[in-house]
Chain A
Amino acid sequence: MSNKKRSDSLALKVLSNPLGIASVSIIVAFILFGIIVPMVSPWDPNVPDIYSSLTMPSADHWFGADSAGRDVFTRLAMSTRFSLMTASVAVIVAIVCGVLTGLIAGYFGGWFDNVSNWITSIVMALPGLVVLLASITVIGPSMWFSMAIFGVLMSPAYFRLVYTTVRGVRNELYVDAARVAGLTDVRIIGRHILGVVRAPIIIQTAIVASIAIAIQSGIEFLGLGDRNTPSWGAMLNEAFMKIYDFPILLVWPSITIALISISLVIFANTVRDELERTGPRRKKVTAGKSSAQQAADDAAEQTIVHAEGAPKGKDLILEVKDLAVGYPDGAGGIKQVVHNVNLKIHKGEVVGLIGESGSGKTQTAFSVLGLLPAGGRVVAGSIQFESEELRGAAGKSYDKIRGGRISYIPQEPMSNLDPSFTIGTQLVEPMVKVLGISKKEATTRAIGLLERVGIPSPTTTMKKYPHEISGGQAQRVLIAGAVSCNPDLIIADEPTTALDVTVQAEVLDLLRELQKETNTALLLVTHNFGVVADLCDYINVMQNGRIVEAGGVVEIFKRAKHPYTQQLLNSILEGGPGRGKYVAPKGN
Chain B
Amino acid sequence: MLTFIIKRIANGLLMLFAVSFLAYFLMHLGAGNVARLMLGLEATAEAVAQKNHELGLDLPFFDQYVNWLTGAVQLNLGNAWSMPDSVAAILFPRLAITLQIVSITTLVAIVVAIILGTLAAVYGGIIDRFVQFIGLLGFAVPGFLVAFFLAAVFAIQLPWFNAVGYTQFADDPYQWFRSVTLPVLALSFSGIAAASNQVRGSVKDALEMDYVRTLRARGLSFQRVVYKHVLRNAAGPALSIIGVQFVGMIGGSILIEQIFAIPGLGPVAVSSTAMSDIPTIMGLVMITAMIVIAMNLIVDLLSAALNPKVRLS
Partner-B contacts on A (CB < 8 A):
118, 121-122, 124-131, 133-140, 210, 213-214, 217-218, 221-224, 236, 240, 243-244, 247, 250, 254, 257-258, 261-262, 264-266, 269, 366, 369, 371, 373-374, 395-396, 399-400, 402-404, 406-408, 410, 412, 415-421, 426, 429-430, 433-434, 465, 467-468, 478, 481-482, 484-485
Interface centre among B18, B224, B274 (most CB of A within 10 A): B274
Given the complex, which residues of B lie within 8 Å of A415, measured CB to CB?
209-211
Chain B, interface size category, equals 35 or more
Beta-carbon contact of A130 and B258 below 8 Å: no
In chain B between 216 and 273, which residues have their CB closer than 8 angstroms to a CB of chain A? 216-222, 224, 228-229, 232-233, 247-248, 250-252, 254-255, 258-259, 269-270, 272-273
Give chain B nearest CB distance to A284 CB in angstroms.
16
Residues of B within 8 A of A (CB): 15, 18-19, 22-23, 26-27, 29-31, 136-137, 139-142, 144-145, 148-149, 151-152, 156, 163, 207-211, 213-222, 224, 228-229, 232-233, 247-248, 250-252, 254-255, 258-259, 269-270, 272-274, 276-278, 281-282, 284-285, 288-289, 292-293, 296, 306-309, 312
Complex Cα distance, B214 from A484, in Å, reads 13
* A137:B292 contact, CB within 8 angstroms: no
User: Shortest Cβ distance from B225 into chain A, in angstroms?
Assistant: 9
Q: Chain B residues near A410 (CB, 8 Å)? A: 210, 213-214
Contact A262 B218 (CB under 8 A): no
Which 10 A/B pairs are nearest by Cβ-Cβ distance? A403-B219, A127-B251, A408-B217, A430-B218, A214-B142, A129-B251, A138-B30, A265-B140, A261-B140, A415-B210
Additional A-B contact list (9), CB under 8 Å, known A254-B149, A416-B214, A481-B214 = A121-B15, A125-B296, A129-B254, A210-B140, A254-B145, A261-B142, A265-B140, A366-B213, A465-B312
Within the complex, the shortest CB–CB distance from A258 to chain B, in Å, comes to 5
Q: Would A247 and B27 be within 8 Å (CB), given that A217-B142, A402-B218 are in contact? A: no
A139 / chain B contacts, CB cutoff of 8 Å? 30
Q: Is the CB of B285 within 8 A of A126?
A: yes
Chain B residues closer than 8 Å to A416, beta-carbon distance: 210-211, 213-214
Chain B residues contacting A434 (CB-CB under 8 Å) are: 218-219
Contact B273 A224 (CB under 8 A): yes
CB neighbours (8 Å) of B276 from chain A are 137-138, 140
Residues of A within 8 A of B214 (CB): 408, 410, 416-417, 478, 481
Instruction: Report whether A420 and B233 are in contact in the complex, using a CB–CB cutoff of 8 Å.
Output: yes
Chain B residue nearest to A141 in the complex (CB):
B274
Contact of A264 among B140, B149, B229 (CB under 8 A): B140
Contact A265 B217 (CB under 8 A): no
Q: A137-B27, A257-B142, A430-B218 are in contact. Are A129 and B18 (CB under 8 A)?
A: no
Q: B312 near A468 (CB under 8 angstroms)?
A: yes
How far is the CB of A120 from the nearest CB of chain B, in Å?
12
Closest to A399 in B: B221
Instruction: Write the nearest CB–CB distance from B164 to chain A, whole angstroms.
Output: 10
CB-CB < 8 A to B220: which residues of A? 399, 403, 429-430, 433
Asked if A371 and B213 sit within 8 Å, CB to CB, the answer is yes
Per the bound structure, the CA–CA distance linking A93 and B156 in Å amounts to: 41
Q: 18 A-B contacts, Cβ less than 8 Å apart?
A: A127-B250, A129-B254, A130-B269, A134-B26, A134-B285, A138-B27, A218-B255, A224-B270, A265-B136, A266-B136, A399-B216, A403-B220, A408-B213, A415-B211, A419-B309, A430-B220, A433-B220, A485-B218
In the complex, what residue of chain B is closest to A124 when comparing beta carbons? B247
Do B229 and A421 have beta carbons less than 8 Å apart?
A: yes
| Known A244-B156, A421-B229; contact A128-B218, beta-carbon cutoff 8 A | no
Q: A138-B30, A430-B219 are in contact. Are A133 and B289 (CB under 8 A)?
A: no
A133 to B148, CA, bound (A): 22
Task: Pick the contact of A222: B229, B258, B282, B309 (CB < 8 A).
Answer: B258
